[in-house]
């Protein structure tokens, strides 16, 4: 007759039949308790501060302004060089104001102290462009005010400044056209008289050429 096998005892069951918690179960319970306490003691303001939309927006703006200044400080002397010649001779006060507002040494000092107002600086440049451009360029300058990317904004500023510079050249030529024509006539007469003095017979050839024409 085969022997009956003794029932294997559950290590988690005591001699009296009641089940005792194992070490693994106790460790798991302690871990859960710690997690619960950690969640209970968590400061909601810390997470709210870290994920605050307003703070994220401020940091984004600061980064954009910093990027804009990094690009602008390399191009500002050229921008200033283009803007100043667009001023009329009588606009001395505006010239002095622009010299001061776009002074690189002063702006660098402000940037080092953290006091540089980049939005004001970019707005000042655009305002000067609106003031000095011809009416046909007003719309192009106004579109620049809606650009937030610093690289695109600087590229747009230089593009419009190039057009403004060409407008000024054309305006100067048109305004000087009467004087240029007068000097041109005087120059041609003087050169023709100089040729006649050297070759008196040249007048006969010229008269014959005009008659045949």
Question: ∠ at Cα 120 (115, 123), nearest 5°?
Answer: 155
Residue 198 located in a structural domain: no
Residue 97 located in a structural domain: yes
Residue 181 located in a structural domain: no
Residue 116 located in a structural domain: yes
Which residues span the domain enclosing 82?
57-174
Residue 210 located in a structural domain: no
φ, ψ for residue 92, nearest 5 deg: -70, -40
- Give me the pLDDT at residue 22, please: 52
Tokens of 2: 């085969």
Place of tokens 């003794």: 6
Give tens-digit pLDDT for 123-152: 999 999 999 999 999 999 999 989 888 788
- Give me the pLDDT at residue 25, please: 53
Residue 200 located in a structural domain: no
Q: How many domains does the chain have?
A: 1
Residue 106 located in a structural domain: yes
State the Cα torsion 199-204-209-213 to the nearest 10°: 150
- Give me the pLDDT at residue 12, please: 45
Tokens of 169: 């050249």
Residue 11 located in a structural domain: no
Contact 131, 142 (CB under 8 A): no
- Give me the pLDDT at residue 180, please: 72
Tokens of 167: 């407008």
* Three-state SS at 200: coil
* Three-state SS at 132: helix
Tokens of 48: 């709210």
Per-residue pLDDT of the chain (213 residues; tens, 9 = 90+): 444 444 444 444 444 444 444 555 555 555 545 544 554 444 444 444 444 566 655 555 556 556 677 777 888 889 999 999 999 889 999 999 999 999 999 998 988 888 888 888 889 999 999 999 999 999 999 999 898 887 888 889 999 999 999 998 888 888 877 777 777 778 888 887 887 788 877 777 777 777 876
Contact 63, 71 (CB under 8 A): no
CA distance 128 to 98: 9
- Give me the pLDDT at residue 23, please: 55
The gap from C-alpha 187 to its chain's centroid, in whole angstroms, comes to 49
């Amino acid at each position: 007759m085969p022997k009956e096998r003794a029932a294997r005892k559950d290590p988690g069951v005591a001699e009296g039949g009641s089940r005792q918690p194992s070490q693994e179960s106790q460790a798991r319970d302690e871990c859960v308790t710690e997690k619960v306490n950690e969640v209970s003691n968590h400061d909601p303001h810390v997470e709210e501060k870290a994920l605050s939309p307003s703070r994220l927006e401020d940091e984004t703006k600061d980064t954009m302004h910093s990027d804009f200044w990094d690009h602008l400080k390399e191009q500002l002397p050229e921008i200033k060089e283009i803007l100043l010649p667009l001023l009329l001779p009588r606009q001395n006060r505006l010239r002095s104001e622009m010299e001061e507002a776009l002074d690189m040494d002063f702006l660098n000092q402000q940037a080092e102290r953290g006091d540089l107002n980049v939005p004001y600086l970019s707005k000042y440049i655009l305002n000067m462009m609106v003031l000095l451009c011809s009416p046909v360029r007003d719309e192009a300058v106004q579109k620049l005010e809606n650009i937030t990317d610093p690289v695109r904004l600087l590229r747009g500023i230089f593009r419009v400044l190039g057009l403004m510079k060409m407008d000024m050249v054309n305006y100067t030529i048109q305004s000087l056209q009467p004087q240029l024509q007068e000097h041109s006539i005087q120059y041609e007469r003087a050169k023709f008289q100089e040729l006649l003095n050297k070759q008196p017979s040249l007048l006969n050839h010229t008269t014959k050429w005009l008659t045949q024409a």
